[in-house]
Each structure stands twice: as structure tokens, then as C-alpha cells.
Structure 1
Amino acid sequence: MKILITGATGLLGGYLIKKLQKRGEQLRALILPLEDANLLIQQGIEIIRGDITDPTTLGPAVKDVELVFHLAGMMGVWRPLADYRLVNVTGTLNLYRAAQQAGVRRFVHTSSHTVYGLGHGRFLTEGAALRPDPDPYSLSKAEADRLLRRLLLTSNMETVIIRPGTFFGPGDHLHFGRMAQKLKAGKGIVLGSGANMLPFCYVTDVAQGFILAGYHHNAPGNTYNITNDRPLTQLQMLNLIADAVGGKRPALHVPYTPVYYGSMVAEHVLAPLTQSKPIVTRLGAMMFGTDNRHSIEKARRELSYYPQVDLPDGIRQAAQWFNTGGMEKPPIAAASHMAALAAMRL
């Protein structure tokens, strides 16, 4: 089967490619014009240069393709909502329409757990209302999620929406790497009591969820949470990371509310003056300082999805990467962030 992957140079894309190659699939990656594709070429991946924000470049990418995994998206950069919408909403629509026109059989779209909003303090099912917080990433992801759910109602193309948790693992500079660096340096802090649950899951488990979404007969027309439903508390996770990287367990507890409102001031007052991303954003404060849990009962029941890696084991595996100089190597997502708006991937 010929399969197209967008966001192939991202963390999740790399692990998904490994699973698909074990299945013997023909893989094609849509890569930005200035993006470094050397690793993918070495892996034998067919490369098509294009950009989801430019629909005129997408025809060659979807030609003769049976299955699309759409992982590409904008995240982690300090850009206005319009830029996020261009990539995460319009870009998704462009690719979906191109895939329809090319006769693609199945389209798997990457949403996010942030579409529900953060801090609900209970296990959320796929039926929960989408109430994203006022963050460009969350807002644009929720808009794309709603768009795909409308389109699939009348589309002949099988469509599956995945809402993954925040994934980590070896090669993760964005989440695990940053936490490990702070804890290694003895600069870790705890927001509030630390008893809140964090929405983290191991990257190979998320990749397995995507495989099921791409192949299982029950998946089309459905939305699934793909995460770990045995989450760690903030304090548990920070302590485990500190121990695994030879750092210092955080002892300083900072009240959550002042940090949250401070991040709001930083976003609205300081960031426009400095033209740079605040040290702490509201999304970051809520991710680490509030209780976030997501049910995977639907994925268990319909797809037989079960997380295979306990989070403490996942932390030890990611720490091994960190302890052997992982942060000194180029990130898996190594594209130039100045190449195009879509250069930030999941």
C-alpha cells in the first residue's frame, strides 16, 4: 500500500514510519521546500516537496496514495492566531480536498487533547464539548477538528480523527528534553501541590494508535482519544525524571494562580514589546498546573488499543537518550523554522 505522511520529520512521524516500514508499506513524505530530508531519504522514503498551505503543490503528494496520515501542524512557536489557522485549519482542508480528488481511501487526521480545554479534573471522553482555551494552537486545532467532523459526514473518503495526549520519548527536545535539562540543573519547580494529573503518554503508544486508526475496520467515521489512562501526577513525573537524569527533585512549590495570571500579563503586555515568546505561557501553565485526564475506553473497545509502555518505563527510556547526549544532537524535527509557516510539526 502506498501511504503519505505529513509531518514525517517530527517526533511522532519518525516513530510511525518505523512501524509502517515493519509492515512493508510504500511510504511517501510531504516535505517543505527547504526542509532537510536526508534522514528520510536514507530510510528509503519517497520525498515530495510541497506545503499544505499551498494547494497547488499537493497533487503529486496524494497521487496513487491509498492512506494519508496527516501529522503536520503548527505548534510551539509564538505566532498570531491567523498563522496557526493558515496551517492547522486551511492547510488541513487543502490536503483533505486534494486527497478526496485523488481517490485516497482513508485519511487519518491529528487533532489534540487541548481541543477540550485544560483543567477539567476528570476523565474526558470523545463526547465532551470542545472548549479550547484562548491559545492559538488549541483554538486552531479545535476548529480543524470540527471541520473534519463536518466533512466526514458527506465524504466518500474514510476519515478518522485522533486526539493524542502530549507524547514524549527519545528524541523529544520539546517536552522531555526541556524538563530534564531544568531538573538536571536543579532548577525544577512544582506548580501548586503537584498532585494534579499530567496528560503525557509515550510516543510509541501514540504511534500504535495511529496504526490502528489507519488499518482497523471500526475506525472510519470516528474520533479517538489516544493516550495513557494511567497518568502520573506532576510531582511523580518530575521526581522520576530528576532521578533518571541524575538531577535534583524539585522542592520549590509555586502557587498556580499567580503563575497563570502572570503568564497572561506576559502574553498580552510583555510579548508584544519584546516580540518574543514568554518564558511561561497560559497553555504551559495550565498543562503542568491543572488536572488533565482523558478516557481511552472507546479506543480500547473499538480498536483494541492498549498502551504498552508504563509511564515510569517511558521516562527511563527517554532519560537514557538524554543521558547519552541526546539534547546535543539535532532534533528529529530539524526543518528551518523560517522556511515557511508550516515548518513547525507535531
Structure 2
Amino acid sequence: MNLSQQQLLISGIDGFIGLRSAELALSQGMKIRGLQHSPEKTQKAQKLGVELLLGNITDPVIAQKACQEMDIVLHTAAVTQESGSLDYFREVNVEGTVNLAKAAKNAGVKTFVYLSSVLVYGFNYPDGVTEKGSLCGENNPYCQTTIEAEEILLQLNAPPDFNVIIIRAGDVYGPGSIPWIVRPLLLMRQKLFALANDGLGVMNHVYVDNLIEGIFLAIEKEAYGEVFNITDGQKTSWKEYFTRLAEIGGLPEPISLPASMLKSVLWQQNLAKKLVGKKADIMPDSVDFVTRPYAYSIAKAQSRLNYQPKIDLEEGMRRTQEWLQKTDIQEIIL
């Protein structure tokens, strides 16, 4: 498929990945419509000159309106926080996703791309796990509902009329990334950040532009009904990643604590904040996200899509540092 002149709907266009997808899609000659829930962050998307709709993916009327005359839907909107009510996660991540997919199918959309996550493998997966690996919800609402959404979407795949592609993204970093750039740097500034277990294990980072290239390749190759792991393919330790991040932020190397102690500290901090009516900075469950021990395989994306990540960690951090030098990251999470 030639992407030029294709009509693309991006859900969650106000998010870090959605907005960058729009920028890169425009450079490919695509015509963009964006759907976002919050009316507060419209400025950046509007500056791009894209058509913008406000509404929730759980609303059938909004979903149907958003999908009209579109060729492709890139679904990035999701609840991605570390913990919370399973009902809320399921409402957005499962019911909202299915609602948007059915609206797309009814509107004659040919290609529906779901931005999933490698977290569907859980936290204790084998080294080099492939797309055929076992999925595990780990009693975590994000992992669990992402698995559920994948399963239903694959059932909706009905070539040649409606074609589903699932992208399991690694840990997406780059300018604007909340979990892997903004939040850790803000915690480092407050001296509230620590590595878990000396930062052992592997961070499966993927620079945002590499991820989007993988998505576009899957669409171009018409890899319908297929699932792909997309990372940078580098075995970078958590310690190396966060040490590099501290360096570009002009901060000292992070300290380390045992994972069990770090969870306990976070639990106590969050309890103290709750008692005075403040929101927690980071949840104890997040420790599970940063102690994953192994790399995911991207062999399928490399062979099927000819995916070759162009931006390595050094270049990705350089670009992120340039962005940090002109951005007040405190404003991003307000």
C-alpha cells in the first residue's frame, strides 16, 4: 500500500505517540484526522493543520463520526497508568477499542492498527520471547485489558474488507515521553528516584520514530491479521538507560535500592500523600515495569517488514536532550 494520500484517523492524537505519528504521517503525504478526549491539549494538533474531533472512544456516535471516509485507523488512545480500577481500564482499553474498531468496520475502513504493548507477555517471560509467546496479565489491569483487546480485535479481522494489525511496542521514549523521560527526570530532580536491584535486566526501549516507522511498514506491507514486537533491538540495562537519562538532564547518577525495599518506600510515600489529599507521584506497581529481565525478539518485524531501527539510543538521547533544553517538562504533567 502506498501511504501517500491515504486518509488516516489517529485516536489519542494529543498523546506523545499520537502527535508524533501525525507529524510523520503528514510528511508521508497522508491526510490526518485526530480524535482526542481532552479539550485542554488541542493546540499542538491544531498547529499541524489536522482535522480535530473531541470525544471519547467509548461513545458510538463520536467513533462513527471519526471513522467516516477514513482509509486507516491508528488506535493509540488507552489508559496506561501503572494501576487503578480494572473496570475503568476495561471500559476504555477493551470496550472503547472494540467500539472504535466496529465503527471503523461499519464505515468501510480497510486497515485498523492497534498500538498494543510488549507488557502483554507479563513480567516473567523467557529471553527472546516472540509473538507466539504466552501472554500473562500478571493481575495488572493494563496488561490484562490489553490482552483482552488484542483477542477481540483479532476476531474482528475479516480480510479483505476489514484488516487488523497489532503492534506490541516496547518502552517508547523520546521527546514528550511521560513514563520514560518526563516523570523519571522530575523524580530525579526531587531526589525521589532510585534504580531497582541496581538496574539489572533489560530495558526494551524503542525511540518513538522507530516505532512509527514499524507501524507504517506494517501498513505498507499489508501485514493483516498479524502481530509484531517493535523495539530498538538493543539489550540496554535499566542502569545504563537511566544513567544516560540523568546525564542529559544534568543530574547525578541514580542511587539503587532492592526492589522489595523500593516498593515499600513507595507504598509509604503514597499513603502519606493520600492522607493529605495529594496524588501519588509513582505507584509501587511501577517497580514491576522496571525489573523485567529479558529482551523481546523483533526477528519477525525484521524479516516480514524489513524493519531496521534507524535511531539508536545515543542518537535518541541526543534528540531528547535538544528537546529538554527548550522545554519546561514540569508543565507537561500539570
TM-score where L is the length of structure 2 = 0.89
Deviations 1:214-246 (A, max 9, x none): 2223x1110000112113101111221222222
Q: Deviations over 1:179-210 (max 9, x none)?
A: 22344555542211322111222111111111
Equivalent position of 1:99 in the other structure: 104
**Judging changes above 3 Å, is the alpha-carbon distance between structure 1 residues 53 and 327 closer, same or farther for their aligned structure 2 residues?**
same
1:288-308 Cα distance to aligned partner (Å, 9 max, x none)? 123142111000000111111
Look up the SS of the partner of 2:61 in the other structure.
helix
Quick check: 2:170–2:231 contact (8 Å CA) kept in 1? yes
Match of 2:320 in 1: 318
Count of paired positions: 329
Match of 1:31 in 2: 36
* Higher RCO (C-alpha under 8 Å, 6+ residues apart): 1
Q: How does 1:74-113 map to 2 (within 5 A)?
A: 74-76=79-81, 79-113=84-118
| Cα distance change of structure 1 residues 25 and 325 upon mapping to structure 2, 3 Å threshold | closer
SS at match of 1:295: coil
- Match 1:8 to one of 13, 16, 21: 13
The whole-number CA distance in structure 2 between the counterparts of 1:5 and 1:79 is 25
Aligned counterparts of 2:95 and 2:186: Cα–Cα separation in 1: 36
2:213 pairs with 1:211 = no
- DSSP 3-state at the match of 1:174: helix
Gaps of 5+ in 2: 1-5
TM-superposition CA deviations, 1:6-55 (whole Å, max 9, x none): 01111111111111111111111123363432322221111223321111
Instruction: Tell me if the contact between 1:184 and 1:248 (Cα under 8 Å) persists in the aligned partners.
Output: no
Structure 1 unaligned regions, length at least 5: 335-346
Aligned equivalent of 2:257, options 254, 257, 264: 254
Residues 1:147 and 2:152 are matched in the alignment: yes
Q: Give the 3 Å change call, closer, same or farther, for CA 187–271 of structure 1 in structure 2.
A: closer
Query: What's the secondary structure of 1:159's corresponding residue?
Result: strand
RMSD value over aligned CA atoms? Answer: 2.6
Instruction: Tell me how far 1:272 sits from its aligned partner.
Output: 8.4
Distance in 2, matches of 1:79 and 1:164, equals 22
3-state SS in 2 of match to 1:247: coil
CA contact (8 A) 2:32 2:51 kept: yes
What does residue 301 of structure 1 align with?
303
Deviations 1:110-166 (A, max 9, x none): 111111101435121100111022221111111111211222268830110010011
What residue number does 2:329 align with? 327
**Which amino acid counterpart does residue 240 of structure 1 have in structure 2?**
R
Measured in 2, the distance between the counterparts of 1:101 and 1:271 equals 46
Q: Take 2:75 and 2:121, find their aligned partners in 1: how far apart are those partners?
A: 20
Using the TM superposition, give the Cα deviation of residue 63 of structure 1 relative to its aligned residue in structure 2, in angstroms.
0.9
> Is residue 57 of structure 2 the alignment partner of residue 52 of structure 1?
yes
Q: How does 1:285-300 map to 2 (within 5 A)?
A: 285-300=287-302
Percent of pairs with identical residues: 26
Q: Distance in 2 between matches of 1:104 and 1:119?
A: 37
CA contact (8 A) 1:152 1:221 kept: yes
- Structure 1, 273-282 or 77-86: larger mean CA deviation: 273-282
Pick closer, same or farther for the CA change 1:242–1:261 going to 2, 3 Å.
closer
Measured in 2, the distance between the counterparts of 1:11 and 1:249 equals 26
When normalised by structure 1's length, the TM-score is: 0.86
| d(CA) in 2 for partners of 1:84, 1:280 | 18
Tell me if the contact between 1:77 and 1:277 (Cα under 8 Å) persists in the aligned partners: no
The reply on whether 1:132 has 2:134 as its aligned counterpart is: no
